[in-house]
Amino acid sequence: MKSIRKLRIHPGGLLFDTVNMGMMLLLCITTLYPFLYLLTMSLSPSDVSFTTIKIWPEKFTWANYQMVFEHKYIRSGFVNAVIRTVLGTLITLVVTVSAAYVLAKPYFPHRKFWTQLIVLTMFFSGGLIPTYLMIKGLNLMNTVWALVLPSMVSAFQLIVTRNFLQSLPAELEESAKIDGANDIYILWKIVIPLSMPILVTLGLWNIVFHWNQWFDSMLYMTRPENEVLQVVMRRIVLDGEMDMLSTAVPEMQRQVNTETLKAATIMFTTIPIILIYPFVQKYFIKGMLVGAVKG
Amino acid sequence: MQAPTKAETIRRKWPSVPVRSRLQLLKHNRYWKHRYLTILLLPCIIYFFVFHYFPLYGVQIAFKDYKFLAGINGSEWVGLENFRKLFAMESFNNAFRNTLIISFYKFVFGFPAPILFAILLNEIRLVFMRRFIQSISYFPHFLSWVILAGVFTQFLSPSTGPLNLLLKEIGLDAVYFLGNPEWFRSVLVATDIWKDLGWSAIIYLAAMAGINPELYEVAKVDGANRFQRIRNITLPGIAPVVTIMLILSIGKIIQDDFDQVMNLYNPAVYGVGDVLSTYTYRTGIESIQYSFATAVGLFKNVISLIAVLIANWIAKKVSDSSLW
């Protein structure tokens, strides 16, 4: 669905247009300036004081980023975040698409019942403590599975995928079936190649979800080397555990400016999202509208 | 009396099936017939049972005095004791009140904001500008509250944050936005709108794209000015979507944004900023009062469920298009 309507330029309303454009640009600045400010901070040497508003660094340095990269827990956090993102997204894709394919088949026994069983879970949850106790009971603490399994399938994503698969023409599958192919083979060889748009959408949804997820890591990871990047960043920036940073590079301890280092840490966590943003834009929006319109 | 043989049992249960062996019977089972599909669905069903239905069993500790060594089953039943304790607790009532107040403010200011934004954006004539502004507007939606809280603690800092520098520049006093109880709720509402303005506007922009452009042309020919066109074409055009979104927001009445509050608040603003989900976290995980925290969670989830069901029910009545 394209949200672009053709509008022709016509005389009049110039004042409205100017004011409107001005407000929109102000909004863009309001949205972007906090990030620009942090970028400036992160690129400034530690002796620059931030008592005046800055748009661009007066002096330029990579030192803050260098210290961030060399930080032990930021490194492990980055690796952990990548692992959970890749593993989580792959497992989610496989299980969601498989299940959606089955639930899209009108002849599958008790299809309605299974679908309802899944949709129903959108309306309740056991809550924080029962889930926490269960993860503990399953001995998943401090394993990547505690981050991957609890959010393995989203009922919403499953239904969106099912709707997509239902819209595919059935003829292709039928001819393969007559040739004696089984369902798993058909799904893999015929359906998946036709489903790339929904797969990319699902993939991006889950990549962004996993990258941004922090609370489960805070709950289930009790050792700092198991924490994901967001949690490490949170401890450094929000809890002000600066010793985490300063002890990392003892010889630079004298000249550490905690604020510029914090800024570099935040930017480092944001950059992966910025990198996939062009794709995210394209597919997220489509997906959101599909979900909103069709359900 | 002799027990019936297996073959007899099968014959009695499924009279139409000729019995030769168990395998024979299995072949008539529809799940067996679609066994590859069954295999494909199985992981998903197991997942929902383990991670969504099974935790419901654990909810019973809200009515028990949970002891770690005794486990869920072995702990003693205490009936509604945890709930009695809860309602007598000032900290709980405070969190409950805050949840409602913050949700209310977020609704009052946050609901119209994306509609207004969508209408104004829709009036931008240059297509590439419109796309550009929209692309920027929903960027913050994709960032976690951990990142955004980091951004805002720096940005709103009383000593070095640009906003306070600006305030000082124009002769006002610096404000410690995140540590001042008078300001904290406003910060929550404002940052919430800031984060999701562009994202929430998408659905309205899509609705506007569905309006027949000829209507605008005809109105223009008839001499309608910009505001008249917005009022008489755009607004009625998006009214159904607005109605649905309005109804669905009833469902959010007690839903608080845990990520946002958890990352922005601090003990200085617990009085105005603590909400039910953060309260659950602190009592449950930090103070290890599992039963008490589960009771808080259950209380919230039940109200939330009722609100969502009511919202869906009304939405269905109004438009024949419920969530599902």
Instruction: Compute the nearest-CA separation of A55 from chain B (Å).
Output: 10
Contact in structure between A211 and A85 (CB atoms under 8 Å)? yes
Q: Domain A65-293, what fold? A: MetI-like fold (1.10.3720)
Percent residues over pLDDT 90 in chain A: 59
A164 pairs with which residues across the strands?
Answer: none
User: Does residue B131 carry a pLDDT above 70?
Assistant: yes
Return all residues near A252 (Cβ < 8 A) that are at least 6 apart. A63, A67
* pLDDT tens per residue across span A192-226: 999 998 999 999 999 999 999 999 999 999 999 99
Helix A72-103 / helix A229-237 crossing angle, nearest 10 deg: 140
Residue B23's pLDDT band (cuts 50, 70, 90): low
User: Does residue A245 carry a pLDDT above 90?
Assistant: no
Of A153-167, B23-37, B91-105, B132-146, least confident by mean pLDDT is B23-37
Among candidates B59, B129, B323 on the partner chain, residue whose Cβ is nearest the Cβ of A126: B59
List strand residue ranges (DSSP E) for chain B, in order. Answer: 64-65, 76-77
CATH of domain B82-319: 1.10.3720.10
> Which long-range CB contacts under 8 A does A38-43 form with residues at least 24 apart?
A38/A263, A38/A266, A38/A267, A38/B151, A38/B154, A38/B155, A39/A263, A39/A267, A41/A259, A41/A260, A41/A263, A41/B154, A42/A260, A42/A263, A42/A264, A42/A266, A42/A267
Burial of B73 (C-beta count, 10 Å sphere; 0-12/13-18/19+): exposed
Most A-contacting residue of B32, B35, B38, B47 (CB-CB within 10 A), to test interface: B47
Residue A295's pLDDT band (cuts 50, 70, 90): very low
User: Does residue B257 carry a pLDDT above 80?
Assistant: yes
User: Does residue A9 carry a pLDDT above 80?
Assistant: no
Most A-contacting residue of B39, B48, B256 (CB-CB within 10 A), to test interface: B48
pLDDT for position B10: 67
pLDDT for position A294: 41
Among candidates A109, A134, A214 on the partner chain, residue whose Cβ is nearest the Cβ of B146: A214
Q: Which of A242, A254, A263, A275 is nearest to A65 (CA)?
A: A263
User: Does residue B25 carry a pLDDT above 70?
Assistant: no
Q: CB distance A127–B301 less than 8 Å?
A: yes
Helix B181-209 / helix A14-42 crossing angle, nearest 10 deg: 130
Q: What angle do CA A277, A283, A289 make, to 5 degrees?
A: 125
Percent residues over pLDDT 70 in chain B: 91
Q: CB distance B324–A3 less than 8 Å?
A: no
| Section B123-135 average pLDDT | 90
Length of chain B: 324
* pLDDT tens per residue across span A101-133: 999 999 999 999 999 999 999 988 888 999 999
Q: Which of A220, A130, A203 is nearest to B51 (CA)?
A: A130
More confidently predicted of A288 and B302: B302
The pairing of strands B76-77 and B64-65 is: antiparallel
Domains of chain A, residue spans: 14-62, 65-293
Domains of chain B, residue spans: 21-77, 82-319
* pLDDT tens per residue across span B167-224: 988 989 889 999 999 999 999 999 999 999 999 999 999 999 989 999 999 998 988 8
Q: CB distance A99–B40 less than 8 Å?
A: yes
Total H helices, total E strands in chain A: 15, 0
What residue in B sits closest to A15 (Cα-Cα)? B226
Alpha helices by DSSP H, listed for B265-289, are 270-273, 276-281
| Section B81-106 average pLDDT | 95
User: Does residue B4 carry a pLDDT above 70?
Assistant: no
pLDDT for position B255: 85
pLDDT for position B322: 44
pLDDT for position B16: 62
Burial of A175 (C-beta count, 10 Å sphere; 0-12/13-18/19+): exposed
Residue B64's pLDDT band (cuts 50, 70, 90): very high
Using DSSP, state whether B55 is helix, strand or coil.
Answer: helix
More confidently predicted of A16 and B17: A16
pLDDT for position B94: 96
Return all residues near B198 (Cβ < 8 A) that are at least 6 apart. A31, B114, B117, B134, B136, B137, B138, B139, B140, B141
CA dist., res. B311 & res. B324, Å (int): 13
Interface predicted TM-score of the whole assembly (ipTM), two decimals: 0.87
Of A48-57, B48-57, B160-169, least confident by mean pLDDT is A48-57
* pLDDT tens per residue across span A84-96: 999 999 999 999 9
Q: With beta carbons under 8 A apart, name residues in chain A contacting B136.
A: 28, 31-32
Measured between alpha carbons, how far apart are the two ends of chain A, in Å?
Answer: 15
Mean pLDDT, chain A, as a whole number? 86
Q: What angle do CA A157, A161, A167 make, to 5 degrees?
A: 150
Percent residues over pLDDT 90 in chain B: 67
pLDDT for position B196: 94
pLDDT for position B96: 96
pLDDT for position A237: 87
Of A12-21, A252-261, B280-289, least confident by mean pLDDT is A252-261
DSSP B62: G
Q: Which of A220, A122, A133, A139 is nearest to B58 (CA)?
A: A133
